[in-house]
Amino acid sequence: MGMPMELNTLIVTKANEKRVEENLFVLKKDGYRLYPIEIPIDIRKTLDGESRGTARIKKVEWENNCTTITYELISLNSSN
């Protein structure tokens, strides 16, 4: 038994995010992932890439072994 999950401390988009509103994006990831919600976290395109900015997760959904997060981009790094 036991439910496998993954603790995530940053958002890695791999360019799979979908914009739903001005600063609001939805991103679907494999597996059940635990993300901090309503807390500023770092956002990157790749795990080893540079930070692209800071986001705040507004919603987390777990279903069918996938995690869908809705996040608000709160600041962009100047180099992006």
The dihedral of CA 48, 52, 57, 63: what is its sign? negative
Min dist. Cβ of residue 30 to a second copy (A)? 11
Are the CB atoms for 37 and 6 separated by under 8 Å? no
Smaller CB separation from a second copy, 47 or 78: 47
Among 46, 44, 41, which residue's Cα sits nearest to residue 57? 41
Are the CB atoms for 67 and 28 separated by under 8 Å? yes
Min dist. Cβ of residue 60 to a second copy (A)? 4
Min dist. Cβ of residue 18 to a second copy (A)? 18
Residues that bind a second copy (CB under 8 A): 1-10, 12, 32-34, 36-39, 41, 47, 58-63, 65
Smaller CB separation from a second copy, 60 or 76: 60
